[in-house]
Amino acid sequence: MTHYRIRRAEVSDAPIVAHHRVEMFKEMGELPAGAVAPVESTSRARLVEELASGEYRGWLAEAGGEVVAGAGALLHKYYPSAANPSGRPTAYILNVYTEPAHRRQGLARRLILEILEWCRAYDIPRASLHASLSGRSVYAQLGFVETNEMRVDAGAARPTPTGT
């Protein structure tokens, strides 16, 4: 049985986190081959900045000194609401990825539990994420629920507003 160790990501881990991000999108069919290099490069540069500032927090799973899985949380400023009257930052969970040879070992679950524990320790009232089809059951088991969020591609053509 493989022994896995969970640790916090450091700035020097930005290349592996960016690689995992690209692999995740490729596997979901959301990243054409021509976009791989620019997405990975831009992600790596942004991760260096955000890991250094603390805006992005990452957790990695290692086996034999090799990073085999990871997940992160991006802190998001939030306005006060009934559920969050102090307007504390919330966490957006992203970059959840496990190398194929290490799947079905509970690593995504362990990583998400680490993030949720960190949220509790730092009084972060809410964590959200976008789930792939393969990840939905893991997140549901951890208490995540579907919400009423809607999204639009702001650059896409849309109908002209009425009354103009």
**Containing structural domain, residue 52:** 5-141
pLDDT of residue 91: 95
Which are the contacts of 52, defined by CB distance < 8 A and separation ≥ 6?
11
Helix, strand, coil shares, percent, the chain, to 5: 40, 20, 40
148 belongs to a structural domain:
no
72 and 90 Cβ atoms separated by less than 8 Å: no
pTM of the model: 0.88
65 belongs to a structural domain:
yes
pLDDT of residue 84: 86
pLDDT of residue 123: 92
62 belongs to a structural domain:
yes
29 belongs to a structural domain:
yes
Number of folded domains that form the chain: 1
pLDDT of residue 134: 84
147 belongs to a structural domain:
no
pLDDT of residue 164: 56
pLDDT of residue 4: 97
Q: DSSP letter string over 140-156? A: HHTT----------TTS
Residue 47 belongs to domain with CATH number: 3.40.630.30
153 belongs to a structural domain:
no
pLDDT of residue 148: 84
Which residue matches tokens 């160790």?
A: 5
Euclidean distance between CA atoms 17 and 23, whole angstroms: 10
Low-confidence ranges of the chain (pLDDT < 70): 1, 163-164
